[in-house]
Structure 1
Amino acid sequence: MESLDPSLFPWLLVFIAVAAMLYSSVGHGGASGYLAAMALFGVSASLMKPAALAMNIVVAGLVFTRLWRAGFFNARLFWPFALGSIPLAFLGGAIQLHERAYQYLVAVALLVAAWRLLLASHEPPTREAPHPGVALPVGAGLGFVSGLTGVGGGIFLSPLLLFLRWANMRTTAAVSAAFILINSIAGLAGLITTGANLPRGLPWMMLAAVGGALVGSELAVRRLAPVRLRQLLGVVLVIAAVKMAITA
């Protein structure tokens, strides 16, 4: 791969597989983990975003499929957020703000969310899905933030669904995976129209991500108790916050 020592490429694949396993176990695609791994191994910045989005698509697609088949997906909850998110994700991706300050703010927000999740000792009862008049603008806001930060948006949607008790842990994972999938597809399509190049090693990277996601999605579907999944999501948010802070 361009700008990467070939002898290090297998280790990059290991990092990708581990990130995919951890993130997919809570319904996330893992973009921030893949970006951190590629940055660590010196992959060219111009190749990092399209590679991360491509891996996001295959991982989130796999996780969503497994959780949907297991009966955890709530379409009524998902679609208002998704319809609000997609156009604003395009808009957010086209705007350049003061990136360093914004990354620090997002890192703090994620740490607060992680603190709340890690302290939780049980899964709270859920409420009915929000009215579309609430979900559409919330989805639009999340889509805008997702476009600004370059991630699929699940890392912001998951804590919101749990905090407001709109879904339990596994339904949150399923809805977040679908949310990440559609936003990542839209983001990658937009990048391709600008002439962005894909790395030559991308098929191997996607294969490593799928391998990790097969394990992680098994954890999401049946192996971990809901409380453990909540705690694992808290760990994921801490990892993402640290990554944003140190790269700001």
Structure 2
Amino acid sequence: MAFLYASVGHGGASGYLAVLAIFSVAPAVMKQTALLLNLGVSLMSFIAFYRQGFFKWRLFWPFALASIPAAFVGARIPLSDATYKQILGFCLFIAVLRMISILRETASKPLPLWAGLSSGGAIGLLSGMIGIGGGIILSPILLLFRWASLKEAAAVSALFIFVNSVSGLAGLKTWIPLDQSSLVYWLIASLIGGFLGARWGAGIASNTKVKWILALVLVIASVKLWFV
């Protein structure tokens, strides 16, 4: 999961949540664990895409400005596990249908400030509520409205995920003690996969490959959220 998600600028929270759900991990532990794993993977992904020159501050700050406080608030709002999975899975599936209809990359358009702030706030609130960084929602938005290229979207989403994950963790009402032995293995696996995926996605993979991998990631996440 970490390799696949990091290659397109994501932290992998939706994938981690799906895997943890398979093993009947408690929802509160799932949310907390996914946000923790998100931190390392999204940071490595951001660094990889940043070094290749794909990060655009003008695309990042409007979304982040509104999303950071919203993620903190969202983490304090209770939401049933079944409800958030179905809503997020549906949104991701719609994003996939729109994305695969874009056969080639077109020129980017300027990001309206109001759109960045409003979208960032909504994504941040949802991210905090369900325990993800929000990049899996931000990336399709950036591409569908042609505000960024594929790899620019990956770079912006990676840092967006990191700051939202930090805010979401800070906003948790309760901190559940985790099984340290299991967490260490999960962290090691995610960091190795994230490092390799980020290097491949930022410096080796073509835009076409990144596009189809992103679509595949969204399909996997939506299917797992609906049926796991």
- Indicate how the Cα distance of structure 1 residues 45 and 107 shifts in structure 2: closer, same or farther if over 3 A, else same: closer
Q: Residue by residue, what CA displacement relative to the aligned partner does 1:180-212 show, whole Å, maximum 9, x if unpaired?
A: 000111122233x62322321212211110111
Q: Which runs of no fewer than 5 residues in structure 1 stay unpaired?
A: 1-18
Residue 132 (str. 1) matches residue 117 (str. 2): no
Is contact 1:61-1:181 (8 Å) kept? yes
In structure 1, the partner of 2:76 is 94
User: What secondary structure is seen at the aligned counterpart in 1 of 2:4?
Assistant: helix
Alignment size in residue pairs: 227
Structure 2 gaps, min length 5? none
Give a deviation string over 1:211-241, Cα, whole Å, max 9, x none.
1112211221122211221111111111111
1:213-228 counterparts in 2 under 5 A? 213-228=194-209
Distance 1:103 1:202 in 2: 23
Structure 2: distance between partners of 1:48 and 1:105: 18
- Give the structure with higher Rg (CA): 1
Distance 1:197 1:138, change over 3 A: same
Calculate the aligned-residue CA RMSD, in Å.
1.8
CA distance, structure 2, for counterparts of residue 60 and residue 44 of structure 1: 24
TM-score w.r.t. length of structure 2: 0.92
Counterpart of 2:58, as a letter, is R
1:147 aligned partner:
128
Partner of 1:184: 165
Distance in 2 between residues matched to 1:228 and 1:175, nearest whole Å: 18
CA distance in 2 between counterparts of 1:75 and 1:245 reads: 34
Distance 1:102 1:202 in 2: 24
Q: Report if aligned partners of 1:117, 1:231 keep a CA contact under 8 Å in 2.
A: no
1:41 to 23, 27, 46: 23
Query: Could you tell me which amino acid in structure 2 is paired with residue 34 of structure 1?
Result: Y
* Amino acid of the structure 2 residue aligned with 1:210: L
Q: Distance in 1 between matches of 2:121 and 2:29?
A: 27
The answer as to 2:61 corresponding to 1:79 is yes
Given residue 228 of structure 1, which amino acid in structure 2 is its aligned partner? Answer: K
Amino acid of the residue matched to residue 190 of structure 2?
A
2:51 paired residue number: 69
- Kindly report structure 1 stretches of 4+ aligned residues shifted beyond 6 Å: none
**Matched AA of 1:187:** G
